[in-house]
Amino acid sequence: DSGVTQTPKHLITATGQRVTLRCSPRSGDLSVYWYQQSLDQGLQFLIQYYNGEERAKGNILERFSAQQFPDLHSELNLSSLELGDSALYFCASSVGTDSSYNEQFFGPGTRLTVL
Partner 1 sequence: GDSVTQMEGPVTLSEEAFLTINCTYTATGYPSLFWYVQYPGEGLQLLLKATKADDKGSNKGFEATYRKETTSFHLEKGSVQVSDSAVYFCALSLFSGGYNKLIFGAGTRLAVHP
Binding site for partner 1 (CB under 8 A): 2, 4, 31, 33, 42-43, 45, 48, 50, 55-56, 58, 90, 92, 94, 96-109
CA-wise closest residue to 95 among 25, 31, 12: 31
Task: Report the DSSP beta bridge partners of residue 48.
Answer: 33, 56
Q: Least separation, in Å, of the C-beta of 27 and partner 1?
A: 17
Residue closer to partner 1, measured from CB, 80 or 113: 113
* Residue-wise burial string across 41-67, b where 16 or more C-beta atoms lie within 10 A, e elsewhere: eeeeebbbbbeeeeeeeeebeeebebe
Residue closer to partner 1, measured from CB, 17 or 99: 99
Residue closer to partner 1, measured from CB, 48 or 74: 48
